[in-house]
Chain A
Amino acid sequence: MVLKMGVEAENQNIEKSMIETANNLLKNKEVDVIIGYSKGTVPLSSAPIIIRREEDTDKLIWNNLCYVNLAKYLVPLMPQLCDSEGNSLKIGVVSKGCVGRALIHLAVEKQIKLDDIKIIGIPCNGNINRKRIEKEIGESEILELSIVDNNINVKGKDFEQSFPFDEYLNELCKVCKVKSPPNNESLAEVCVGECLEITSVEDDFSDLDEYESKSTEEKWDYIIDTLRTCTRCYACREACPMCYCHLCFVDQNKPIWFGKTTEISEIITFHLTRAMHLAGRCVACGACSSVCPMGIDLNLITRKLEKIVKGRFNFTSGIDIETLAPMTTFKMDDSEEFMLEED
């Protein structure tokens, strides 16, 4: 049940119950390590933290700037995290909905073992679109951010501005249907805290209608306009919990598939291929957009991927541990309406 209360009170409640759960888990030796969010060193940020001792749990925080997908840290860390005798450590992960989905999908892809993981579910209330706020503030430096009465108040040296909370959420958070980690029979052992009992997600994707009604030329212009500032720093790839390849296609140099310049066709090639690789795997956490130093919003592509996969294969990533990822399997009767036929 969701009570209508201020965002601030909501955050405090989430934080309180999260710390309590984390405390209990550590006390009962159910987990050895907890990965969570802690206060960031600059405003509009949060930092991931690894907690090993009970007394440190009060360093954990929850606010609307916890945009990092913590599942990212598990894939490279998992083989290394063991005690002095070589037994693997039990890890608790503070999970908003998309972190939970990412963990489940990584388990589907056999990148992590859920036996060693506890999903500490929290009812996420959305992340602030900090890039949009930064863009609107402009050059001045933001020194403080606070949420009062569903308004985001931003303070700097010689300015103070306020933004409505609901409007300045991440585009993906606005349409998010999985606020807490999904939980069903096969996951009951893994999930603690607040989880969502769901087996499928209903989504109408009406937010894409406006873009999709555009003509081909308008779409191309829009895509160029959105992506032209991309510097190909690959921050989106680094933040993505699903990008765990040892050698990414853009780093391959034998053969060099794609050039390294910021010429528009190469930028689009990068984003197109990245989208291709994330089809049926993307969990729509929006971490890619949140970390982009140029403030490029990739949510349209993310949503389109979700829509394609839902429409074609009736699949939503990271909900069910038993369903295979769509791109690793096939059916004889997959639709092939796009195939060329004789007249």
Chain B
Amino acid sequence: MTVQTVDDKSINENWEPKIIAFLCNWCSYAGADLAGVSRIQYPPNIRIVRVPCSGRINPNFIIKSLTDGWDGVLVSGCHPGDCHYISGNLVARRRFAILNELLEFFGIEPGRVNFMWASAAEGERFANLIKKVTKIIKELGPNTKFKKKWC
């Protein structure tokens, strides 16, 4: 099997998680933008991927992010009822519910993958939730379990 190398980062106290965030174009991305222009501070651990709608997020995106070694995944869309495409986030919500339970069932730590709603007017809420996600994933530590080992 694979040779486990000692990951410097896992023993380093200054380790910072890398979190990939899938934000929907119409609400959450604009919310992140608002947080920015309002100069609200939030941890710099997230890397944002803009998607047209939370319904665009294939569960594959989330699973692949984990195997590619991201420490955490965040998915954010419009509040239910506010979707630019009427029902994209509602369909996505069912998908996320099942994915969330399956990940837990397969033994991936709950909290590694997070889902939230944030509207374009909620810059502060966005910043607060990013703080929360970063805290959760910092407590979980680096993603060594599901990360691909042969790359």
Chain A, Cβ-Cβ closest to B107: A220
- Interface SS of A by simple majority: helix
Interface residue range, chain B: 35 or more
The answer, among A212, A217, A257, A339, for a CB contact under 8 Å with B60, is A257
Q: Judge whether A253 is part of the interface by a CB distance below 8 angstroms.
A: no
Instruction: Give the complex CA separation of A259 and B147 in angstroms.
Output: 13
User: Which residues of chain B are near A279, meaning CB under 8 Å?
Assistant: 98, 102
| A276 in contact with B99 (CB, 8 Å) | yes
The stretch that binds A, out of B12-20, B34-42, B44-52, B126-134, is: B126-134
Q: Could you say which of B96, B114, B133, B150 has the most chain A C-beta atoms within 10 Å of its C-beta?
A: B150
Q: Judge whether A204 is part of the interface by a CB distance below 8 angstroms.
A: no
User: Which residues of chain B are near A330, meaning CB under 8 Å?
Assistant: 87, 90-91, 93-94
Q: Judge whether B110 is part of the interface by a CB distance below 8 angstroms.
A: yes
The answer, among A272, A308, A342, for a CB contact under 8 Å with B63, is A272
| B115 in contact with A339 (CB, 8 Å) | yes
- Interface SS of B by simple majority: helix
The answer, among A268, A275, A280, A340, for a CB contact under 8 Å with B133, is A340
The answer, among B59, B91, B107, B133, for a CB contact under 8 Å with A216, is B107
Residues facing A in B60-112 (CB within 8 A) are 60, 63-64, 67, 80-81, 87, 90-91, 93-110
User: How far is the CB of B85 from the nearest CB of chain A, in Å?
Assistant: 13
Chain A, Cβ-Cβ closest to B122: A342
User: How far is the CB of B105 from the nearest CB of chain A, in Å?
Assistant: 5
User: How far is the CB of B35 from the nearest CB of chain A, in Å?
Assistant: 13
Interface string of A324-343 (1 = CB under 8 A from B): 00110011101110111111
| B129 in contact with A249 (CB, 8 Å) | no
User: How far is the CB of A238 from the nearest CB of chain B, in Å?
Assistant: 21
| A338 in contact with B63 (CB, 8 Å) | no
| A220 in contact with B108 (CB, 8 Å) | yes
Instruction: Give the complex CA separation of A332 and B115 in angstroms.
Output: 17
Q: Judge whether B117 is part of the interface by a CB distance below 8 angstroms.
A: yes
| B99 in contact with A312 (CB, 8 Å) | no
User: Which residues of chain A are near B87, meaning CB under 8 Å?
Assistant: 330
Residues facing B in A261-313 (CB within 8 A) are 261, 263-266, 268-269, 272-273, 275-276, 279-280, 301, 304-305, 308-309, 312-313
| B67 in contact with A338 (CB, 8 Å) | no
Instruction: Give the complex CA separation of A336 and B98 in angstroms.
Output: 11
User: Which residues of chain B are near A334, meaning CB under 8 Å?
Assistant: 90, 93-94, 97
Residues facing A in B130-151 (CB within 8 A) are 132-133, 145-150
Q: With contacts A220-B145, A343-B132 known, is A261 near B102, CB below 8 A?
A: no
Instruction: Give the complex CA separation of A334 and B150 in angstroms.
Output: 40
User: How far is the CB of A12 from the nearest CB of chain B, in Å?
Assistant: 41
Instruction: Give the complex CA separation of A340 and B110 in angstroms.
Output: 12
The answer, among B90, B96, B100, B105, for a CB contact under 8 Å with A332, is B90
User: Which residues of chain B are near A175, meaning CB under 8 Å?
Assistant: none
User: Which residues of chain B are near A280, meaning CB under 8 Å?
Assistant: 98
User: Which residues of chain A are near B59, meaning CB under 8 Å?
Assistant: 273, 276
Residues facing B in A183-236 (CB within 8 A) are 212, 216-223
User: Which residues of chain A are near B94, meaning CB under 8 Å?
Assistant: 312-313, 326-327, 330, 334
Q: Judge whether B116 is part of the interface by a CB distance below 8 angstroms.
A: yes
The answer, among B80, B97, B107, B145, for a CB contact under 8 Å with A338, is B97
Instruction: Give the complex CA separation of A330 and B80 in angstroms.
Output: 11
Instruction: Give the complex CA separation of A273 and B103 in angstroms.
Output: 10
| A272 in contact with B64 (CB, 8 Å) | no
| A221 in contact with B106 (CB, 8 Å) | no
Instruction: Give the complex CA separation of A265 and B116 in angstroms.
Output: 26
8 A-B interface contacts by CB (under 8 A): A216-B107, A249-B60, A276-B59, A305-B102, A309-B98, A312-B94, A313-B94, A330-B87
11 more A-B residue pairs beyond the given contacts A223-B106, A269-B67, A273-B59, with a C-beta to C-beta distance below 8 A: A249-B60, A265-B146, A265-B149, A268-B106, A280-B98, A305-B102, A327-B98, A330-B93, A330-B94, A332-B80, A340-B116
